[in-house]
Structure 1
Amino acid sequence: MFRTFLAGALTAVLGLAVGPSAAAPAPEPACRTVRFEGDGFVVCRYVPGEGELRLALNGPGGPLGNFVALKAALGPGAGRVAFAMNAGMYEPDRAPVGLFVEAGRQVAPLNRATGNGNFYMAPNGVFWVDAEGRPHVDETAAFAGLGAKPRWATQSGPLLVSGGALHPRIVPNGTSLAVRNGVGVKDGQALFVISDRPVSFGRFARFLKNELGCPDALYLDGTVSALWAPELHRRDDQTGLGPLVVVLKGAGR
């Protein structure tokens, strides 16, 4: 009996487990697939303080253009990649059509011109991240009036959702179908979305508004949309991409 008591005492003193231990909860994956109206959408989450968001355009030899070049540019940091995605519209030379800010440096100015195409489908807007890492989506004119000094920013269009309302010119189920991607903000987080297959503008916008509950969301592009998500064992091989967004695991400086 003494030996039994002694063993029990040692267990208590040393803090040894005597029964099944509760497993630590698994971290939430960076990206997940969500079904909506019969289609699949990959949703990748950026949370300030848990990850580090960067925008990238050029490498040592010019425009990066694809995820292989992005991986090489990141060097050892590529092991921290949670996900990466194309991040805005660009000219034939892959220069951004609108505002692009990289690490606090303005690469391209805010574009308030009118024109044809998705970028100019007013209202368009700006996705930007402030010095504290907080993400925002603002209509272009509203952003211009903020006097903001973003650390990272990309301008695109149209605004799919603004103030909880869908873009007035987006029809519910148009005939133009494409693999599309965009970004919405909700509760201080950024939700990057790419469709699994070609979908209409309307369905894509409804997904961000109705399924994800984003009060503000910006269209990034279509047809050229691409994703690199290591946890999903996916790295799309599109080339000729313009601006890119990458989120790294762990908070950066």
Structure 2
Amino acid sequence: MEPILNVKNLTMNFGGLKALDDITLAVEKGQIAALIGPNGAGKTTFFNCITGIYEPTEGNVKITPPGKPTQKLQGLKTNLVTEKGLARTFQNIRLFEGMTVLENVMIGRHCRLKSGIIGAMLKPSSQKKEEKQAVVDSYEILEKIGLAQYVNEMAVNLPYGAQRRLEIARALATEPFLLLLDEPAAGMNPQETKELDDLIIWLRDNEDLSILLIEHDMKLVMSLSDNIHVVDYGRKIAEGTPEEIKSNPDVIKAYLGDESEDA
């Protein structure tokens, strides 16, 4: 069976800087995978390349959505990648602060609505029915994420941990099969991190999602991940289970440095 995400020889150059260097990585259906590495290792650049924000210099990005044929992603714009079934959150929260919690999730539903610009202008009965259904669907997502109590609250007024969860809710509204989380626990307190841990597992088990996350919280990574990919200076240096990664000398060196190199 083909991986749902299959990235081969991905390279990204910014002028003379090679931000990604020949990275090959796969995510299997139903898997929680992690992409880890020191600051500046190229993790977010990797996400940007597979979601259409950057066009990679070299390499192939293919997806095999459940029940569908394998498709190429490179060269597609971000909105088309989303329509294909990849959704992501960002390292820095990107909510529509002047909109309500419900409206933020409804924005995510946009790519699944059938009515175009003409429909939005004329407001036929089918358009109104679709809009009502989008409200219902968005509220159901908030219930699943545990944010229903904030439904009419302005997004900017939410506690920090709830804002992180709202980003996930908006991503879920696009109906993805693969969810990409960029440092979802950043800035969270221990209780919020524990709730996030439980939420990610619940999403995998109950929403038929596969998940690839970037995260610096190693306790979270080790407790959640089925498979871990490690990058350093744009190159992939290790892959394996949490137990294998913990004892990998290349990973230890990347995070802690090599004492033999000290003056």
TM-score by length of 2: 0.25
Give 1 or 2: higher strand fraction: 1
- Larger-gyration structure (1/2): 1
